[in-house]
Every structure is written in C-alpha cells, then in structure tokens.
C-alpha cells in the first residue's frame, strides 16, 4: 500500500475494493429538483442521467470495476475497484469534476467546452485514436445536456434559486477487507433509497435493469 501523493491521510491499497461516499457542498439536495430528477414515467432528461453517463464514461476511461452504486438527492455511494494506473483519488477527481461542469452548464453558471475537450479526451487521442470510439457517446451526452438546459431555462425563465453546484472537496472511502463487509455494504447501497425516503422505484441505483451493463460481477 502507499499514500497518494495529493493526500497526507488517504492510503491506497493495491487491488483493493473501496466503498466510496461523496456529498454535495453543504448537503444541498440538487437532485430533488424535478427538472434535475423528475419521476421515471416522464420523458424528460434528468440530471441523474448525466450522472450515470459520466459514471459510464469515467469507467471506460479509467478502467475500474464497479460493483454497486446509488445516487441520492445530495450524495452518492459506490463500490469501486480501481486499477494500477488510476487510483481511487484520480477516479473520483474525474467523476466529480465532469458532473459539476455539466450541471453548472445546465444552470447557466458556465459555458460548455464542446465535446469533452478536457485532458481526458485528449488522452484518448494520444492512445491509438480512441476518440473515434468515444465520439458517439460524447455526441449523445451533448444532446441530452442541451435538452436538459432547455428544460431548465423553460421552467426558470426569470431566474432560479440554486447555488452553483459543488461537491465537498473530500470524499469518504472505506477499504473493504473481506466478503462479509463487501456484502453488507452492497446491502446498504440497496437499502439507501428506502432509508432516505426517496420515491418508490428510485431509478438511480445499480439494481435498475436499465443500468445492468454498468456494473461488474
């Protein structure tokens, strides 16, 4: 094991599985907003969808294994096994940065730098032209992002009450030491929507068949 160079406290274990929790700044419930997270029966694009797509893109770029996850109104939990190249800190940095950028674009706090022009996609171009592989994913993401922005502007044409989206700077990670702990924490993820009183059939959880391709055995 080793300490991550950007943290004096976080310990990185080789081939470890982590239970990770990240919360919004001041625990602000951004995902309670119906434009962001309306009922599943509607055809609206949801910010929860953007979360899932960023999670999917992050997984493909960083090559980690994902065993479970759930998105709440103001936080998310996940069970992640990073690879040797991208440790848990780098994975979370990517995921949190891109989600923040997308939601702030929707709320009008910043402009969107077209087609994921940040360093991660430039890395793909350097690694054997992988940009062609990700381009359809990026194009689909852009379309949903702009539709969500249009829905948001339509509802809040005279201004909105939401502060700029931010995650808390740090995140909590727990090293999963054995199978019993793994199963208990996975059960905690499954119970989380009930624990926090989320709507029935909450869609943003790994048990949703819609997202079965996102999780690993």
Which CATH number describes the domain made up of 2-209?
3.30.70.1290
Domain boundaries, the chain: 2-209
Please check the confidence at residue 6 and state whether its pLDDT lies above 70: no
Average pLDDT over the chain, rounded to whole? 81
- Helical H runs in 28-130? 47-62, 88-106, 119-126
pLDDT band at 117 (very low <50, low <70, confident <90, very high): very low
Phi then psi dihedrals of residue 64, to 5 deg? -90, 165
Residue bearing tokens 């079965």: 212
Tens-digit pLDDT profile for residues 46-83:
667 778 888 988 898 899 999 999 999 999 999 999 99
DSSP track, 126-160: HTTSTHHHHHHHHHHHHHHHHHHHHHHHHHTTT--
**Do residues 34 and 27 lie in contact, with contact meaning Cβ atoms separated by under 8 Å?**
no
Tens-digit pLDDT profile for residues 84-104:
889 999 999 999 998 999 889
């Amino acid at each position: 094991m080793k300490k991550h160079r950007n943290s004096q406290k976080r310990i990185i274990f080789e081939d470890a599985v982590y239970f990770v929790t990240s919360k919004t700044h001041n625990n602000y419930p951004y995902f309670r907003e119906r434009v962001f997270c309306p009922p599943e029966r509607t055809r609206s694009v949801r910010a929860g969808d953007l979360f899932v797509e960023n999670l999917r893109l992050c997984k493909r770029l960083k090559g980690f294994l994902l065993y479970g996850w759930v998105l709440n109104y103001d936080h998310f939990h996940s069970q992640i096994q990073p690879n040797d190249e991208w440790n848990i800190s780098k994975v979370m940095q990517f995921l949190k940065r891109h989600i923040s950028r997308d939601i702030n674009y929707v709320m009008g706090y910043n402009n969107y730098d077209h087609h994921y022009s940040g360093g991660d996609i430039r890395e793909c171009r350097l690694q054997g032209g992988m940009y062609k592989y990700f381009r359809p994913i990026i194009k689909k993401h852009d379309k949903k992002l702009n539709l969500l922005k249009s829905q948001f502007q339509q509802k809040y044409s005279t201004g909105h009450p939401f502060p700029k989206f931010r995650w808390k700077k740090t995140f909590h990670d727990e090293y999963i030491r054995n199978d019993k702990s793994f199963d208990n924490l996975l059960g905690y993820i499954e119970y989380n929507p009930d624990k926090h009183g989320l709507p029935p059939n909450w869609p943003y959880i790994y048990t949703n068949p819609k997202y079965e391709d996102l999780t690993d055995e």
